Structure 1
Amino acid sequence: MRRPLVHLDLPAPVDAEHPAPEQVSAPDWAEQIDGKQIEDEQAGDEQARADHVAARSREAAIARLSEPLAPVDRRTIGGHIRRDDQHPVPAAMLTLISQRGQQVSRTTADGSGSYTLEPPAPGSYVLIVSADGHQPTAVNVTVRNDGAHQLDVTLSGSSEVSGVVRTTTHEPVPDATVSVTDLHGDVAGTAVTAADGTYTCHGMPAGTYTLVAVAARMRPTATTLTVPDSGRLRFDITLAPMAVLSGTVRADGRTVRDARVTVLNLSGDTVGTARTDEYGRYTVTGLPAGEYTVAVRGYSMVTDQVTITGGADHNLRLGFDEYAQVQ
């Protein structure tokens, strides 16, 4: 009868020279360090992912900004504000109102008179334009669904220069022409005096101008004046009479052609000259009223005294000069 086999776990033989290493368990503080390291690594991964997402968002935003903008339909009313002489009206005020009188847009023209308004919707509006020294105006305007509407507006000046044109003896001068020019030489206003010498030039904004008055048989006058911001200026004008001296030059009963007539004032200065025509007639214009000396050369010198008060006809008689005839 066999005996049953029995398995016994025997300890391994011990090598005296090379003992087996002793199994040592890790302390608790080591497990804590390993856990903290794992948490830090996880946190670092999350921050990296967040930074990556932020970077991608910035790149996408920059890409969107670099894309061309889609065109936007705009309803605009634009143009220029000018005076009657086509000069710009800077700083003009523009107000756009609806048909019910409600303000829907407002702007100010720039230094060149240019402006732009943006109505809120298509339809019919009224544009009101005003500026200092000018008469306000209102214009109907219809706005389409989109696009720009060009509308130039002309403003008339509300300023005026008025006065009376008289002679040096305080007599009124009718039918005198009064012109006002700006600093560029452009005519800003003109008027013709009435029977009582009064005149009025309309449509000039505040500024500096040159006023010129001209009348028949009167010496022209030019004056610099300034129209105030109030827009009204009274300026009276005095014109000095301009005499015309005319006559005939004769010698021995015959008229003398191509004789030189010289007019001198009391100081001996020459103020006018003329030559006789084929009939011996001469005319000297542009002489203020006063006393003069008339000298004629063609034969022997002859002088005579003449007094001019407005117009004069003075005949002269020359003596025969044999030397002049020979020459």
Structure 2
Amino acid sequence: MAALDAELAVLAGEQDPVWEGAERVLSESELVPTASAAQHGPVDHNGRRAYRVDALSPSAPSTGELSGSGIGGGAVDGHVRREDGHPLPGAVLTLIDQNGRQVARASSAADGGYAIDAPERGGHVLIVSAVGHQPTAVNVQVGQRTQRIDLTLVGSGELSGVVRIAGNGSPLSNATVTLTDMRGEVVGAAVTGVDGTYLCHGVVSGVYTVVAAAEHMRPSAITVTVPDSGVLRHDIELTAMAVLAGSAQADGGRAVPDVLVTVLDAAGEVTATARTDENGRYVVTDLVEGQYTVVARGYPPVTGQVTVTGGEAAHDVRLGYGLGDR
């Protein structure tokens, strides 16, 4: 009697098609959908009428939903790079759902590439972090198709130091410090304060060229290696450009004011010009070391050679006329 009641319940759709004893669950072949089946349909089971649910029916779970993968989830891929465009290997990528739970995790390869699978579709947050870099997070909408997201991480390190004048050690303000990578691209710059200090943010480990320049100073360039920590202190000394100074005198040793003095480099190009003051003195600044020709206007003009080395050189000119001849 109980078996008959169970069979009647199955036919009425009130309980699952399960039979006790010799009876069984509907066979796997009966449950597999066919290309033509898209709705509920009657089937015969040992001469009895029963119903099966086709997998294409909205009431049937998809294969992806059953397995937790496939069309039930999605994927995100792309590349992680440094701010200078270089690939960033070893970056850790964590995918969390809207409740803040971790659902997937991956790391970037040697070329910065990554691929991360999400078990479910919908909104997620992708967190990316790497040693020596500032972490970042982006919203990700996981769908049926793989979503490509390229990410750039900014360095969390810094290069700092003090720029001083060589010789006396005085801090040098308004000096420009420029940081270039091995490709020659500028990745950072700073201007020194009144205390000569500079600070370049966003630096990552690697080899750089540091160039410091200031008015009336010889520029300085040096290669530095920033450690994995991303933090390096490097002080810089700049040497003042050479100064050429002298006087213009007439016969008898008297000073001659307002004389035009022209300085030519080794190639004969005009490097600088100056005029003597009321005391017959002239000064030419910002010369690099080398051989120069000094021409003083006179009758005839006076020409002399001078070698500039170190910080200062002197060269007097004697004009071939008296003051009364001017």
TM-score (norm 1): 0.60
CA shift for structure 1 position 273: 6.8
8 Å Cα contact 1:94/1:130 also seen in 2: yes
Structure 1, unmatched stretches of 5+, are: 1-71, 264-269, 321-327
After TM superposition, the structure 1 stretch with the greater mean CA deviation from structure 2, 99-108 or 212-221, is 99-108
8 Å Cα contact 2:264/2:272 also seen in 1: no
Match of 1:173 in 2: 172
> Which amino acid in structure 1 is aligned with residue 170 of structure 2?
E
Would the alpha carbon gap of residues 300 and 187 (structure 1) be closer, same or farther in structure 2, given more than 3 Å must change?
closer
| 1:186 and 2:182 aligned | no
| Secondary structure of 1:117 counterpart | strand
Match of 1:148 in 2: 146
Match of 2:161 in 1: 163
Q: Deviations over 1:206-250 (max 9, x none)?
A: 111111101111100011111111221110000111145489989
User: What CA RMSD, in Å, does the superposition of the two structures yield over aligned residues?
Assistant: 4.2
Match of 2:319 in 1: 318
Would the alpha carbon gap of residues 79 and 296 (structure 1) be closer, same or farther in structure 2, given more than 3 Å must change?
same
Match of 1:120 in 2: 119
> Which amino acid in structure 1 is aligned with residue 195 of structure 2?
D
Match of 1:109 in 2: 108
Return the index of the structure with the highest Cα Rg.
1
Would the alpha carbon gap of residues 142 and 240 (structure 1) be closer, same or farther in structure 2, given more than 3 Å must change?
same
| 1:274 and 2:273 aligned | no
CA shift for structure 1 position 175: 1.0
Would the alpha carbon gap of residues 100 and 275 (structure 1) be closer, same or farther in structure 2, given more than 3 Å must change?
closer
Once residues 184 and 208 of structure 2 are traced to their aligned partners in structure 1, the CA distance between those partners, rounded to angstroms, is 9
Q: Deviations over 1:73-114 (max 9, x none)?
A: 461111221222333212211111122222111111122222
Once residues 202 and 275 of structure 1 are traced to their aligned partners in structure 2, the CA distance between those partners, rounded to angstroms, is 38
Which structure carries more helix by proportion? 1
Once residues 113 and 235 of structure 1 are traced to their aligned partners in structure 2, the CA distance between those partners, rounded to angstroms, is 30
Once residues 287 and 97 of structure 1 are traced to their aligned partners in structure 2, the CA distance between those partners, rounded to angstroms, is 62
> Which amino acid in structure 2 is aligned with residue 224 of structure 1?
T
Once residues 140 and 276 of structure 1 are traced to their aligned partners in structure 2, the CA distance between those partners, rounded to angstroms, is 60
Matches for 1:1-327 after TM superposition, within 5 Å: 73=71, 75-144=74-143, 146-168=144-166, 169-245=168-244, 261=263, 274=270, 286-287=286-287, 295-296=294-295, 299=300, 303=304, 316-319=317-320
8 Å Cα contact 2:259/2:296 also seen in 1: no
Would the alpha carbon gap of residues 109 and 304 (structure 1) be closer, same or farther in structure 2, given more than 3 Å must change?
closer
Once residues 208 and 192 of structure 1 are traced to their aligned partners in structure 2, the CA distance between those partners, rounded to angstroms, is 21
CA shift for structure 1 position 174: 0.8
TM-score (norm 2): 0.60
Once residues 216 and 275 of structure 2 are traced to their aligned partners in structure 1, the CA distance between those partners, rounded to angstroms, is 25
| Secondary structure of 2:203 counterpart | coil
Structure 2, unmatched stretches of 5+, are: 1-69, 322-326
| Secondary structure of 1:132 counterpart | coil
8 Å Cα contact 1:272/1:287 also seen in 2: no
Once residues 78 and 300 of structure 1 are traced to their aligned partners in structure 2, the CA distance between those partners, rounded to angstroms, is 76
